[in-house]
Amino acid sequence: MSHKAGFVSIIGKPNAGKSTLMNALVGEKMSIITPKAQTTRHRILGIVNTDDYQVVFSDTPGIIKPHYALHESMMHQVEGSIVDADLILLVTDINEEYDEQDVLKKLEKSEAPLAVLINKIDLSNEEEVRTKAAYWQEKLNPKAVFAISALHDHNIKGIFDFVLENLPVHPPYYEKDALTDRNDRFFASEMIRAQVFKQYKKEIPYSTEVIVTAFKEDPKIYRISAEIIVERDSQKNIIIGNKGEMLKIVGTYARREMEEFFQRKIFLEMFVKVIPDWRSKKNYLKKFGYE
């Protein structure tokens, strides 16, 4: 039998459930899942391997109109993943008001086969699902329309089978033991960032970047240092909290997640640093890994 391999891009608006879907398909907690929109800032690859195939799933930032240089970088990553794709999975939320113009515009650049995934059907009814499916069938004439609940694992196997059917014959793109193109540092910083999203309100999480400055692997323990970057002194005070209490909470939860993820004891130290308006400064964005 010939080996199949290809890039499958998961795209859609913020909060449609792309990361939850990706995690269900890959079976690992690869993309951060938090209830706030706009938490995925980088394109993250999740790789599923067997002897016969290699599926490279790509979870992309939600499609929005850019307001900062940071957003522009995020949208370039979406465009890149559409151009690279052998197959596109468009995730839409059943409760969205057909407001996907930005997404459809980006899809025009692609020749790849497309499936529309109507997500969160657990929050809906059969008639609504049928109406939506008919709408997308007419609008985009996709190869398939799936009604799914990524959260409840409903119809995930159906999508996976569809993906395998439509993958091109190709040798593997990555080593067969690779799960992702991201390294451990990246996941450590994402776990801290997930806690920043969970523990703080309003604009704080969106003004924050997390940089892992040291990652030392001893057999029994990983020693990790990280900087939490914010834009203003007032934000720094909020992040640290009264007598350092908030930072301690973030550290405790992030450390627990890391210990589970890396299966090691973790020593974690964190510092908070102010870089005014980093989101609008190209040189900092580049340094933080946004192209």
Give the residue numbers of the binding site for GTP: 12-19, 59-63, 119-122
Binding residues: 12-19, 59-63, 119-122
Q: Give the C-alpha separation, 30 to 24, whole Å.
A: 10
Among left, alpha and beta (phi > 0; psi -120 to 50; other), residue 110 is: beta
* Alpha helix segments (H runs only) across the chain: 18-26, 69-84, 101-107, 126-140, 156-166, 184-199, 233-240, 245-262, 282-287
Structure token pair of residue 77 = 């990553």
Structure token pair of residue 122 = 């657990």
How far are the Cα atoms of 114, 253, 291 from residue 200, in angstroms, in the given order? Answer: 37, 13, 27
- Cα 183–chain centre separation: 15
CA atoms within 13 A on the CB side of 77: 26
SS (H, E, C) 117-146: EEECHHHCCHHHHHHHHHHHHHHHCCCEEE
Complete edge-to-edge strand list for the sheet that includes strand 221-230: 209-217, 221-230, 265-274
